[in-house]
Structure formats: structure tokens, C-alpha cells
A and B are shown apart, each in its own frame.
Chain A
Amino acid sequence: MTDSYSSEECRVPLDLPTDNVMAISAARRLAAQAGFGETEQHLIATAVSELATNILRYVGSGEMVLRLIHEPGRSGMEVLALDHGPGILDLDMAMRDHFSTGHSLGLGLPGVKRIMDEFSINSKPGEGTQCIARKWRKP
């Protein structure tokens, strides 16, 4: 039973810049497994890439946990992005479009929120950031 459980969940440590790719391919695989269509698989992978890139770029290391989720009558996919970095000082600001902390295009969080159905973020200065996003499969 452990096997069937683990095939529905994938933990991806984020330490090296190339770990982004691991997160993306895991996301695509799980999204396909969840029954998402190709366009939605790409959207989910894009959201995962945004979150992974944030961690790698602004914190340096963290972790991603991707898993299939089931509820009566529906199923989908959950993306959890964790880091123990400095945290995001102004979450409201970070959730605004075109917010940027420097040369890049911003954190991409509003985009992730738009792509996914549910999105929540928790950040404590000095402790880190935890981001959970879910997408449900349209029946």
C-alpha cells in the first residue's frame, strides 16, 4: 500500500537551480495521473515552476510536495511549497500584480493564484513561507 500512496505523492527537494526541472516534471506526471488535460497539465506545471523558481531565487532552498487529492465527488492536485527563508514581509504587496523585488518580474504569486483553484500563503518573517495551492479536475 505504501507504493500506491507514494505514487500519488512526490516530494521534491529544492536546492540546486536545476531542481526546478524535477519539480516541473513531477508536476506534469502527477497532473496527467490525476486526469488533467494537456493544457491544464501545462498550467499546473507553470504554477509549480513559478513557486519553485521563487524559492530557488529568493531563498536558495526549500521543498515542494505535490500530491493527488481526493474528495467525495472530485479529485485534483495539491502543490505545497515550503521554505525556511526570511519570509515575505508584505504579503498583500506580493499578491499584487507587477509587484517586483528587483530585476525579476516579481514573485508570480497572483499568476499562481489565477491558475489554481485554491491558494493560500503563510509567511512569517524570519521563519519562512508556506504556500498551498490546489486545482480540481473539472468533471
Chain B
Amino acid sequence: MSAAKPTRPHAARAADHDALRHGMNTFDGVLVAHAPDGLEDEPLRAFQAGLLTRVHAGSPRGVVIDVSRVRLLDSSSFALLADAGRMAAMLGARVVFAGFQPGVVSALMNLDVDTESLVTAMTVEHGLELLRPAEPESGGNDPEGEDPDGAEPGGNTAQSQSGPETTAP
């Protein structure tokens, strides 16, 4: 069963595994995570756990939770999804929910759930834009001490195509 000899820390491997399962990708230091469609607790809890692992392992600057595939949300599945966002926020990532569908929005309004605390964007692209770091102007130094002129912080070379892709039809 074990084809490849494990050479990397367990957390990173687990994060990769979850990333594959839940479709999480990093773009330019921002993690894009696709929320599962469905009202069952289990996939949503797995999504929470996967997101938590991945954010902790990868320390992304921000997280875009793509909810565009979610067609149905009731109050308890919404709570699980919102909790996923709060978990990532507690780890220090800025979180944006992207792509709520009109049917979902209308259901959530009817259910009167509290959506005030959510930062939202129309699309993943808009979400990524919201999470773009402020331009390193003079005097506007980040207290975190990150070198604004430096190259991309190490490691994250796999998917750093930040430029707009040519969209195939």
C-alpha cells in the first residue's frame, strides 16, 4: 500500500491529503477552499478539519471559501460553514466567502441567521482581490516584519501563477 517513502512532516502530508479531498489551492499566498455542497454534517466537519489543518500548515495570508457550488444551506449547515471561517480567522487568516448563490442567500434571510460578521465577495477572483496585501508604500511597514521587497516567502512555488489566465471557453 505504501508506495512512496514518507519524507515530509505528517502535518504537511495530512494537509495535502485534505487539500486533494476538498479541492484547496493556494494562489499567491491565499488559500482557496471549495466548500462542499450538501447539508450533511460529515462533509462539512471534514471541510472544517481540512481547512484548519491546511491553514495551520501553510500559514496563508488569507482564505477564500468558495461557496459557489453550495446550492442548499439550512441553519445548521450554515453554522458549520461559518465556523470553518471563524476557525481560519482564529489562526490569523483573513477570511472571505465567495460566490453565495441567490437561492442560498434567500434561504438564509428567511432563516434569519446572522450573516453580519461574514466578509463576502461575488467571485473567487474578487475575494482574492480583497485579500491582496496593501501596496508597500513608504512608511507603511507591516508590523509582522515581512520584507515587502523580498521574493515570495519560501516554499510556495507550486501554484504561484498570479497573473490572469487566459480563460478557455
Instruction: Enumerate the 9 nearest inter-chain pairs by beta-carbon distance, A residue then B residue, closest first.
Output: A111-B111, A42-B103, A49-B74, A46-B107, A114-B110, A39-B103, A105-B75, A115-B110, A108-B75
Asked if A80 is an interface residue, CB under 8 A from chain B, the answer is no
The winner among A43, A57, A106 for most chain B CB atoms within 10 A is A43
User: In the complex, how many angstroms separate the beta carbon of A132 from the nearest chain B beta carbon?
Assistant: 18
User: Per-residue CB proximity of A52-93 to B under 8 Å, as 1/0?
Assistant: 010001000000000000000000000000000000000000
A39 touching B106 by the CB < 8 A rule? Answer: yes
Asked if A12 is an interface residue, CB under 8 A from chain B, the answer is no
B110 touching A111 by the CB < 8 A rule? Answer: yes
A104 touching B79 by the CB < 8 A rule? Answer: yes
Select the stretch in B7-15, B38-46, B55-63, B142-150 that faces chain A: B38-46
Asked if A35 is an interface residue, CB under 8 A from chain B, the answer is no
Residue of A nearest to B76 (CB): A53
Q: Which of B40, B102, B110 contacts A20 (CB 8 A)?
A: B40
Residues of A within 8 A of B104 (CB): 42
User: In the complex, how many angstroms separate the beta carbon of A115 from the nearest chain B beta carbon?
Assistant: 5
Task: Please judge, given known A-B contacts A17-B41, A20-B39, A46-B111, whether A104 and B106 are in contact too, CB under 8 Å.
Answer: no
B71 touching A42 by the CB < 8 A rule? Answer: yes
Residues of B within 8 A of A38 (CB): 103
User: In the complex, how many angstroms separate the beta carbon of B69 from the nearest chain A beta carbon?
Assistant: 13
Asked if A98 is an interface residue, CB under 8 A from chain B, the answer is yes
Interface size on B, residues (CB 8 A): 21
B103 touching A50 by the CB < 8 A rule? Answer: no
A43 touching B39 by the CB < 8 A rule? Answer: no
Asked if A110 is an interface residue, CB under 8 A from chain B, the answer is yes
A43 touching B106 by the CB < 8 A rule? Answer: yes
The winner among A24, A39, A46, A49 for most chain B CB atoms within 10 A is A46
Residue of B nearest to A23 (CB): B39
A43 touching B103 by the CB < 8 A rule? Answer: yes
Asked if A18 is an interface residue, CB under 8 A from chain B, the answer is yes
Residue of A nearest to B112 (CB): A97
Asked if A95 is an interface residue, CB under 8 A from chain B, the answer is no
Residues of B within 8 A of A114 (CB): 110-112
B79 touching A108 by the CB < 8 A rule? Answer: no
The winner among B71, B79, B103, B111 for most chain A CB atoms within 10 A is B111
User: Per-residue CB proximity of A29-52 to B under 8 Å, as 1/0?
Assistant: 000000000110011011001100
Residues of B within 8 A of A21 (CB): 38-40
